[in-house]
Amino acid sequence: MTLLETSILVHLLATISMFAALISILTIFYGDLLIVKYKLEAKLAKFIQLRRQFQQYYLLGNIFFTILVMIVYFNLLILFNH
């Protein structure tokens, strides 16, 4: 692959990864709203309890992953432009 093709591939993978992490962060925040709105707490009590236990870890992991992808992406951008 040429340098241009490699940079395009890195850009696409970084964009897709950050979009997936953003969707995951949004589901963390709005999941509880949907559970309350549709009154699913009684039906899915065990699942909701596990979800709430791990919610903070999912959020921190996704934020860390997004920052890591951005750092790598910007470093590669600087490297390829010089």
The stretch 25-43 carries a mean pLDDT of 88
The pLDDT of residue 82 is 67
3-state DSSP helix/strand/coil % of the chain, to nearest 5: 90, 0, 10
Range of the domain at 30: 3-81
Name which of 19, 44, 20 is nearest 31 in CA terms. 44
Max mean pLDDT among 4-8, 23-27, 39-43 falls in 23-27
| Tally of domains within the chain | 1
The pLDDT of residue 43 is 84
pLDDT at 28 over 90: no
Tens-place pLDDT, residues 37-78: 998 888 888 988 898 899 989 999 999 999 998 898 888 888
